């Protein structure tokens, strides 16, 4: 494996992650300025609203007393992706892991910089759909990447190399084009 290929894969995962983090943080700043302390804004009727929420927990506001666990998990996932990224050979996997890294880092920025303190801060959420918790761009990247990872896995798309075909068993006689035994 060439060092240029390693740098290429890692570079693309990091660049995609930085795009996600930038979009996430820009939209969170906008949301804080436009929505904090105000009633929800209907964007598409009741189907899509913007509403300001500071989430002390994880998905669905679960684990509000264990925010530090989400911080540790985000750091572990981020390190794991950065270690694995140089071996990736599939554009689809680069996109999936770049999005996952960006989403993890986007919410990690909040946990590190928002009150009540480092590693246990609130995550800023503002996108609301009916019957669904309020979320943000980082959350969308994490969920979208997770769906893509599952799909890639189900379809057998390899992250690190070519798809391997099953080898014929040793005791089978190869069969010719017309169904006759070769030999």
Q: Would you name the residues annotated as active-site residues? A: 125, 139
d(CA 10, CA 88): 8
d(CA 3, CA 6): 5
d(CA 136, CA 59): 11
d(CA 89, CA 94): 8
- Please give the C-alpha separations between residue 123 and each of 54, 89, 112, 142, in angstroms, as whole numbers: 6, 33, 10, 14
Strands 41-44 and 123-128: unpaired
């Amino acid at each position: 494996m060439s060092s240029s290929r390693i740098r290429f894969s890692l570079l693309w995962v990091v660049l995609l992650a930085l795009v996600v983090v930038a979009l996430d943080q820009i939209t969170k700043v906008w949301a804080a300025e436009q929505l904090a302390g105000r009633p929800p804004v209907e964007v598409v009727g009741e189907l899509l609203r913007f509403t300001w929420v500071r989430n002390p927990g994880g998905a669905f506001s679960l684990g509000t007393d264990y925010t530090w666990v989400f911080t540790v998990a985000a750091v572990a996932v981020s390190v794991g992706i950065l270690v694995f990224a140089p071996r990736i050979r599939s554009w689809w996997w680069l996109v999936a892991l770049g999005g996952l890294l960006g989403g993890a880092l986007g919410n990690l920025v909040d946990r590190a910089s928002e009150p009540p303190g480092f590693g246990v801060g609130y995550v800023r959420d503002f996108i609301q759909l009916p019957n669904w918790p309020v979320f943000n761009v980082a959350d969308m990247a994490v969920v979208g990447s997770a769906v893509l990872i599952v799909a890639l896995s189900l379809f057998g798309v390899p992250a690190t190399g070519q798809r391997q075909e099953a080898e014929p068993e040793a005791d089978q006689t190869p069969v010719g084009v017309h169904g006759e035994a070769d030999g």
